């Protein structure tokens, strides 16, 4: 039993290393974790449109994108916008990056970095929208919640003045916490629902379902959605 578990561990590690190596050759993937840039601003800061995407279309971030399923499908549905999935887990990003490459999508890319330093990557009002798709609610670590005041202050400088933040979650805690914070600060609420698939605001983008979202729905867990502006 021990030997079989050890073999499984080695196979997983070998698979991850292979993905990391392949991803080095992806032109649509940027790898810049904290240790790589430390306190320096990234060279694409303020230049993502012209130097990465090669157009002047709006930029939409998906923070904590995991396998990048949402970013890829949004890019397919909205070819007139640029999408950038952000996550620190390289083995996860590989899947979305691989799919994007196979489909020849030129309007989606991936950034592997720590979201805590996201402000070092984007210039003033460079980003049009932010998507937070099923983030870890971090019930015991408030500063790590992607909708905490700590992170909202990081987003504000690079998010356009009329930019939108979207939260899609299965977590009652995450939704309630964010909803309360938004109301307390009197942010402009564009949409809010505790049961997305039974609401009237459902559209093609919101219908995109990740692998884990499908599992939660199959268990009868309603999906919550909140869209707001940091006015």
Is 11 known to be catalytic?
Answer: no
In 3D space, the residue among 173, 165, 168, 182 whose CA is nearest the CA of residue 140 turns out to be 173
* DSSP H/E element including 159: strand 159-169
Gyration radius of the chain's alpha carbons: 18
Task: With beta carbons less than 8 A apart as the criterion, state whether 30 and 44 touch.
Answer: yes
- Half-sphere exposure at residue 82, Cβ-oriented, CA atoms within 13 angstroms: 19
Token pair belonging to 181: 């914070």
Catalytic residue among 80, 128, 136, 170: 136
Name residue, tokens 């904590």. 64
Catalytic positions = 136
């Amino acid at each position: 039993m021990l030997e079989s578990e050890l073999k499984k561990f080695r196979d997983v590690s070998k698979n991850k290393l292979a993905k990391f190596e392949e991803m080095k050759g992806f032109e649509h993937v940027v790898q810049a974790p904290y240790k790589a840039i430390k306190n320096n601003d990234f060279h694409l800061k303020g230049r993502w449109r012209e130097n990465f995407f090669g157009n002047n279309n709006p930029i939409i971030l998906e923070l904590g994108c995991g396998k990048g399923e949402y970013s890829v499908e949004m890019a397919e549905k909205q070819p007139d916008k640029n999408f950038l999935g952000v996550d620190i887990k390289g083995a996860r990003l590989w899947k979305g990056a691989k799919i994007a490459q196979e489909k020849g999508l030129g309007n989606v890319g991936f950034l592997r970095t720590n979201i805590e330093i996201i402000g070092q990557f984007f210039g003033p009002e460079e980003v049009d929208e932010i998507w937070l798709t099923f983030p870890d609610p971090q019930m015991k670590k408030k500063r790590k919640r992607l909708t905490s005041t700590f992170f909202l202050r990081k987003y504000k400088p690079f998010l356009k003045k009329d930019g939108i933040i979207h939260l899609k979650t299965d977590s009652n805690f995450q939704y309630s916490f964010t909803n309360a914070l938004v109301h307390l600060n009197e942010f402009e609420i564009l949409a809010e629902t505790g049961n997305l698939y039974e609401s009237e605001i459902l559209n093609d983008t919101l219908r995109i379902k990740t692998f884990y979202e499908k599992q939660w729905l199959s268990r009868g867990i309603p999906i919550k959605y909140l869209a707001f502006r940091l006015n």
